[in-house]
Structure 1
């Protein structure tokens, strides 16, 4: 990996004539007054956005073929019985750390194939010794993790942060401290890499690692939300939501437009990992469901990963979706792959990714307002998918549209298809208190498929005491695919009792858990909608 991959755009616009700054599919490098991260011109490019209609996006450079096999028949049962230290990972958003913890680290990238070497980049506020640990996430007799690998102690010193131009997050070019390599003994799945300070007792920090499957594929592919974690990551004091300032209004005004991958995962970025992706891995393990994992960044590089799966699963909050990923998922559902949206506010913003010469994502750009985005290619604007100029409402795929943030609401049963509600004891009119929380999707979107069946509904309360309608829904697509949308970001963390907020009652957790178990059993084969057609308005 090159050490100096990222620089401020102002330096780059001096080095390059403006005519030479066209990148990717017509996207232009921002000129003076715009924000971006940049590296040596030969090592950072905006990935291509355009895809031929109905065709999978092409594989990008840098996709690494596995060098070993980590999924032989029976691997999941062996994993559950594997020896090794059990680890209790942080709960929900309790993983939030200060902007500048004593020990920080990041990986070359958030996903890896079997046998692939990834560099680990570490820094400390004062010299210390650090142990790096790989912990597989699941359910191990009540523990949420199993220690799979631990490094020898390594000396870690201080390394400076790169300068932060306006509207750009913290960025680093730290040297590689050591390598981590998933071997054949690392089962596929979601891992967290933990950085543990041996000398100073500093708080642990974490990074996600999605270990891809080589060998026997499962029926399900879970897509980890590393782009959403990147957007919310406040390391260094800036994220795509907040920047410098003494008031919330000022912080929003000075938010970053460009988020670097070369920094620790802290604050709400870490919270997104532990409150959204980790609970899904725990839930799947509790039900002994064998599932493979990938991530947003990985799927973006290699869209063929979705081929052959019965069901794609989205965790609690998968908000940032590239055009390549959106195209890939739409094509899969159009060919009969089921979609289980076990969250809400999914596929909301279009980002642009920048990759280095090795194919690793170096940064993500999101301006939010089309007038701020300097690209002249309208379909590349980093705005909401449902708004112009993109005008591609995700409700047409997920069945529900984004409804509210900061919600709290009871779920009232509207319909009870037997295949989905068996064993719940619920009937029309039954109430599940506080089923909905955090962010919610609703049934009032005009672009939702007309045969969408509302299962539960709520007049949820917003922080300002106004109400919005949120719902849980299902529809059968023309391809025969079944599509389920939980309608709340706290569906899975509520079931597993890993939300930061007050826990749901046992009744609510059991009911939502049973619905999810029934859903995934029905989704074990593709085209579940042929077997279980939806009934609009039921």
Structure 2
């Protein structure tokens, strides 16, 4: 049964939502869909004009204002990303008689941060079963039926939050999804860290850290994408660790492309010709395939910006579920020997740096994860560097709370590519142990540059506008917001022009004494 829809916010023409009992349209396989997009006439595959998109009217009412009771409405998408025009199945559970779906494209939009691209008519509500848990792995999933299918024809590439609203006005929840770009040539690629979102998602009882007993012994060994996100009212980690950067990048009007870590793992050509790739605030869980493809892109001249910490730390594997391919993230960590995949000869799903196949993330990033938890000032040590131009910072300037809650550093005990330039060294104390967090700039023989912030709070700080000591954004203030926005804009603009290391090679200072801390 087809339900009427309403198109809003300057969106394109035909869009449909198929309700309960509708026959699902078969989604094109990724490689076929990508080839079709690339072979299409130019007007069908023209890259997104970010400035023109953000000149369209934004929506001030995209946020959730009525969370409602637990399980009043919640849902998940059957795919983490689609190409525009591909059908997107939703599985929604609600106690209400009906609900609607509003698709908001996230961006700048004059500061409103979102544009309404599509709104459905009322869809029949259905209370779906409770979570099902696999006894062997403690993986929770939602064994739900498809309740709706969205036609994404004409949806611009980008990061989306679908908002579910019960028609009785009592409850709302988000469902995140990416309308990914068909190619990345000449563009800066923003990568949503969906595997990390799931690693910290405790919907159904367990995530990759702890389970129903609250201890590590009850943690899951695998996590499923076939369930809603329990945190941030369904948005996962998008709103804190990604949305502020998406807004800034779109405000700058740079040529952008959008994808997810799952898609980078699946497609060895997803980064072909990209000017830069951006890892956002919390991007911990990578598959070996994702790491291989990002490394190849970096070595061929694609710049890499790591705007967080703890990046590429856990080695994971994607497996299929009854819903579709790559719907399970496997990470046994220190129990990797129990992993049936490892017993079949697949890579261990533990930390990249650890045996039996150590490959520290420092070989890709220049910095390496150093610890948790910390809360410390960020200290500027090389204010003359071109990436800090316009910040007004001076040597020794400190930005309270900007280093946290995890941090990276340069550590020559691990393989570290050179030349590597430390821009800021911030003393920290982690679990009673003195250390330091580093912001670093690395250049490679192929011309690419790597910028790594060394702190997980960098993207969150982009939104900091309040007074010193304020409660918002972990106490980050307007000074920290100005500093991080200026540096990030410098990075994004430089990296969007192509291999930054050719014109601006790093001046190696790893062995130099740096004010504020010891040498690595």
Smaller-chain TM-score bracket: 0.7 to 0.9
Alignment correspondent of 2:89: 119
Alignment correspondent of 2:218: 254
Alignment correspondent of 1:80: 54
Alignment correspondent of 1:107: 77
Contact 1:86 1:147 in 2 (8 A): no
Shift of 1:145: 1.2
Q: Per-residue CA shift, 1:204-255, capped at 9, x if unaligned?
A: 222221112248855201111111111111111211111111xx4xx31100
1:311 aligns with 2:276: yes
1:263 aligns with 2:227: yes
Alignment correspondent of 1:534: 506
Shift of 1:270: 3.7
Change in Cα spacing, 1:187 to 1:218, as seen in structure 2 (3 Å) is: farther
Alignment correspondent of 2:141: 171
Q: Per-residue CA shift, 1:117-141, capped at 9, x if unaligned?
A: 01111112x2421111111111122
Alignment correspondent of 1:23: none
1:274 aligns with 2:239: yes
Change in Cα spacing, 1:442 to 1:96, as seen in structure 2 (3 Å) is: farther
Q: Distance in 2 between matches of 1:477 and 1:216?
A: 21
Change in Cα spacing, 1:95 to 1:514, as seen in structure 2 (3 Å) is: farther
Contact 1:323 1:350 in 2 (8 A): yes
**Which shows bigger deviation, 224-233 or 375-384?**
375-384
Q: Looking at both structures, which has the greater relative contact order when contacts are Cα pairs under 8 Å and sequence separation is at least 6?
A: 1
Q: Distance in 1 between matches of 2:85 and 2:73?
A: 27
**Which shows bigger deviation, 251-260 or 210-219?**
210-219
How do 1:332-481 and structure 2 match up within 5 A?
Answer: 332-355=297-320, 360-369=325-334, 370-374=336-340, 375-376=342-343, 380-445=347-412, 446-462=414-430, 464-481=431-448
Give the SS at the match of 1:236.
coil
Q: Distance in 1 between matches of 2:252 and 2:66?
A: 25
Number of positions where the alignment pairs a residue of Structure 1 with one of Structure 2: 468
Change in Cα spacing, 1:158 to 1:214, as seen in structure 2 (3 Å) is: same
**Which shows bigger deviation, 414-423 or 108-117?**
414-423
Q: Per-residue CA shift, 1:400-420, capped at 9, x if unaligned?
A: 110122211112222245421
Contact 2:418 2:443 in 1 (8 A): no
Q: Distance in 1 between matches of 2:56 and 2:182?
A: 19
Contact 2:101 2:119 in 1 (8 A): yes
Root-mean-square deviation (CA), in Å? 2.7
Contact 2:131 2:204 in 1 (8 A): no
Q: Per-residue CA shift, 1:247-272, capped at 9, x if unaligned?
A: x4xx3110011111111111278441
**Which shows bigger deviation, 394-403 or 74-83?**
74-83
Give the SS at the match of 1:306.
coil
Change in Cα spacing, 1:273 to 1:455, as seen in structure 2 (3 Å) is: same
1:235 aligns with 2:207: no
Contact 1:66 1:114 in 2 (8 A): no
When the two structures are superposed, what TM-score results if normalisation uses the length of structure 1?
0.81
Alignment correspondent of 1:283: 248
**Which shows bigger deviation, 64-73 or 307-316?**
64-73
Q: Distance in 1 between matches of 2:357 and 2:182?
A: 36
Q: Per-residue CA shift, 1:309-330, capped at 9, x if unaligned?
A: 1101111011111111000011
Q: Distance in 2 between matches of 1:500 and 1:66?
A: 46
Q: Per-residue CA shift, 1:189-212, capped at 9, x if unaligned?
A: 11111111122602x222221112
Q: Distance in 2 between matches of 1:97 and 1:401?
A: 41
Contact 2:278 2:307 in 1 (8 A): yes
Alignment correspondent of 1:189: 158
When the two structures are superposed, what TM-score results if normalisation uses the length of structure 2?
0.83
Alignment correspondent of 2:485: 513
Q: Distance in 1 between matches of 2:385 and 2:333?
A: 42
Q: Distance in 2 between matches of 1:188 and 1:179?
A: 18
Contact 2:229 2:235 in 1 (8 A): yes
Q: Distance in 1 between matches of 2:211 and 2:93?
A: 23
Structure 1 gap segments, 5+ residues each: 1-58
